[in-house]
Structure 1
Amino acid sequence: MLTPHILHIALEIASGGIVGFTLGLVGGGGSILAVPLMVYLVGVPNAHVAIGTSALSVSINALVGLAHHARNKTVKWRCAGIFALCGVGGAFLGASLGKAMDGKHLLLLFAILMIGVGVLMIRGRHNTGCPGASCNRQNAPKVMGYGFGTGVLSGFFGIGGGFLIVPGLMASTSMPILNAVGTSLVAVAAFGLSTTLSYMLSGYVNWQLAGMFILGGAIGCSIGTKASRALAGSTGRLTTVFAGLIFVVAAYMIWQGIHQLMG
């Protein structure tokens, strides 16, 4: 007979699997799903602990997903390096600002930001991008600007930033979404580790929970990467899935946030 403790561990691993699957599928959704899963499903009472722990697990799972995408040659390494380097400083700045804010308000603002990103993705879903797109002298300043801005938001909300990085890479370089997904994982890992360090120094990381999420995430990420390649063959389908996931999670977080504020 399964004990409540074993069932709880299984729930943690399954939640990590969901997070890993979305990371492999769309390069984002790691912390956007990890934070509400930790708070509302696993039962982590402190939003800041959920944010710090999710940042660690998502960054490790992003590296697993990156390995899969690298083998499939869907990573634009130069763009990834520029975007990540410019974003790391922004992530430290954003994390410092985020820790000073009430956790309930932080999650509500997070959800509102997600809706805005989702709308932009839906509007551009038929834009297939340029397969040969890369970072050059003309678009490098734009890539750097998007990288720093995304890093600030990533650190502020305690997210890996994939849901912001993917559209940011597409907007600054015109690369297809499949390349943006693979390339984004470099920055997701870098931003997540930066945010983790900041929250870890404040004691906001649950190491046991992070381990379970990483274990489940490694399995889910492998499945998600295969699904991403399959969906990328249909114009706009992967982008629509990406945006749809944003809307569903954002609606749930707004409902929970308003309920907590009113309570």
Structure 2
Amino acid sequence: MLLSGLLMGGSIGLLLGLTGAGGGILAVPALVVGMGFTLTEAKPIALIAIGLAAFLGCMDGWRQGLVRYRAALWMAAVGLLVTPIGSSLSQWMPERVGGILFSGLMAFSALRLIRSLRFKQSSTSPLSNDMTGDCLLDANTGRLRWTPRCVRSLLQVGAYAGFLTGLFGVGGGFVIVPGLRRVSDLDMRSGVATSLMVIATISIFSALAMMVHGASVPVSGLWFAGAAGVGTLFGRWLSRYVALRALQCIFAAVTILAACVMLLKSI
């Protein structure tokens, strides 16, 4: 149990550090399928692991000047307001139904990523190639232009991420990174670093709220979270040398496989 927790936690942290989105959605199935936790038990453990890993990755991105902290704070603020809605809904949802819905969410996320790879050129390309996004960088200052449309778009991304965090305990990175790519022209490294700040904020506060309401985290869960943190730091370093397109293809394949396994276990 301990060894498998360390290996899976480290792998999930590695993906989170590399992509800003990959680790979170795989944390819950790793805990459920690989370590035998129920979906309810896995949620606070996953959020602690994701929150710690994202915080460490965010600090590395901050050191490099990649984090758009104002955009991250906007998304995190609305995400924290919406998270309790998802948490309340999850309490009324049967365990089997939650597992089936989560499997569908993973499959949808992976298929959307595969589809997007047909239109994205590289990790250094602008995230909005036609430069018509709602949140564009000012060529003179290098900062985002804060228009009402920009604020609205960021709030929508944060709300969606917060709802899914409360419902499934996934952190929301797989929503935030594509959302930033859709509404802004931030490059991939900046988008990932900003996403990590949002994930860390929402995940840590959500995990604390669950623990206040009686959720517990076993020692094996803490080892899982610690390994995820170490994996994230390694992933941040490795991201400078790994081709993003190849990584995204591998992540999509792994996510589809995890969705199938999770579905079979839920049924």
- Distance in 2, matches of 1:135 and 1:55, equals 32
2:53 is aligned to 61
Query: Deviation at 1:74?
Result: 2.5
Alignment size in residue pairs: 248
Letter in 2 for 1:200: M
- Distance in 2, matches of 1:198 and 1:100, equals 18
Of residues 82, 89, 95, the one that matches 2:87 is: 95
**Residue segments in structure 2 that go unaligned for 5+ positions in a row:** 129-135, 138-143
1:4 is aligned to none
Of residues 28, 35, 47, the one that matches 2:21 is: 28
- Distance in 2, matches of 1:71 and 1:144, equals 26
- Distance in 2, matches of 1:56 and 1:171, equals 28
Query: Deviation at 1:207?
Result: 4.1
2:237 is aligned to 226
Q: CA RMSD in A?
A: 2.2
Identify, as 1 or 2, the structure richer in helix: 1
Query: Deviation at 1:241?
Result: 4.2
Q: Residues 72-221 of structure 1 correspond to what in structure 2 (within 5 A)?
A: 72-125=64-117, 126-127=119-120, 128-130=125-127, 133=137, 134=144, 136-137=146-147, 138-221=149-232
**Residue segments in structure 1 that go unaligned for 5+ positions in a row:** 1-7
- Distance in 2, matches of 1:175 and 1:124, equals 16
Deviation digits for residues 22-80 of structure 1, max 9, x if unmatched? 11011123342221222222222x32011121111211111011112222333222221
Identity %: 28
Query: Deviation at 1:148?
Result: 1.0
1:254 is aligned to 263
- Distance in 1, matches of 2:22 and 2:157, equals 19
Q: TM-score, normalised by structure 2?
A: 0.83
Q: TM-score, normalised by structure 1?
A: 0.84
Runs of 4+ with >4 A deviation:
none
1:240 partnered with 2:232: no
Ranked by relative contact order (alpha carbons within 8 Å, sequence separation 6 or more), the top structure is: 2
